[in-house]
């Protein structure tokens, strides 16, 4: 099992780069989620913390998926591949909830309300809430796309690592 092209030497680097950007997307989501939780002018339907259960699952398993991907690319331990795949699958199931709700909120803010083409100016559309929901949407979208690429690359990558931390001989300049 492995890459079926001549690019298999770059698989580990691809995993690390995709995982790093997926973690940046995850961090963007978590920042927006934290800001919205601290927002005093939350929307009336923001609800209780139990309604955001999948959002919290994404916050926990997203970071686990990202870091386990990087560590797997470096060490190539099979149990880390299992952790990477399982945490990625759980985070992919959880990312649907924030994508759906934040996407609907953003779309409602841009719906035309009359024939003149004016956009909806409803509650939260021109406030901090809109910014927080935009952060959460962008972060969860970037995370989901790049973590899928990371997971596929990790599963298809060769079983030996291209990274080494052994001492490299020093050459005089």
Reported pTM: 0.82
Q: What is the pLDDT of residues 37-63, one digit of tens each?
A: 888 777 766 666 667 888 899 999 999
* pLDDT (0 to 100) of residue 76: 85
Which one has a higher pLDDT value, 10 or 45? 10
First to last CA, the chain: 41
Q: What percent of the chain has pLDDT over 90?
A: 43
Contacts for 12 with CB less than 8 Å, ≥ 6 apart: 73, 74, 157, 161, 162, 163
pLDDT level of residue 7 (50, 70, 90 thresholds): low
* pLDDT (0 to 100) of residue 27: 96
Residue 138's nearest CA partner among 59, 35, 16, 27 is 27
Contacts for 131 with CB less than 8 Å, ≥ 6 apart: 32, 35
| Burial label, 1 (beta-carbon count in 10 A; 0-12, 13-18, 19+) | exposed
Task: Determine the 3-state secondary structure of 53 from DSSP.
Answer: helix
Measured between alpha carbons, how far is 96 from 55 in angstroms, rounded to an integer? 9
Query: Would you say 94 and 101 are in contact if contact means Cβ atoms under 8 Å apart?
Result: no
């Amino acid at each position: 099992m492995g890459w079926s092209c001549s690019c298999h030497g770059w698989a580990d680097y691809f995993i690390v780069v995709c995982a790093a950007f997926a973690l940046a997307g995850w961090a963007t989501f978590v920042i927006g989620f934290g800001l919205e939780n601290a927002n005093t002018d939350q929307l009336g339907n923001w609800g209780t913390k139990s309604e955001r259960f999948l959002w919290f699952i994404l916050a926990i398993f997203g970071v686990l998926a990202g870091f386990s991907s990087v560590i797997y690319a470096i060490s190539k331990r099979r149990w880390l591949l299992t952790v990477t795949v399982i945490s990625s699958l759980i985070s992919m199931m959880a990312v649907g909830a924030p994508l759906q709700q934040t996407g609907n909120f953003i779309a409602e803010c841009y719906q035309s309300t009359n024939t003149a083409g004016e956009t909806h100016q409803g509650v939260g559309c021109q406030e901090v809430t809109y910014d927080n929901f935009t952060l959460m949407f962008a972060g969860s979208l970037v995370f989901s796309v790049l973590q899928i690429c990371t997971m596929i690359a990790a599963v298809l990558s060769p079983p030996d690592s291209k990274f080494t931390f052994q001492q490299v001989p020093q050459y005089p300049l």
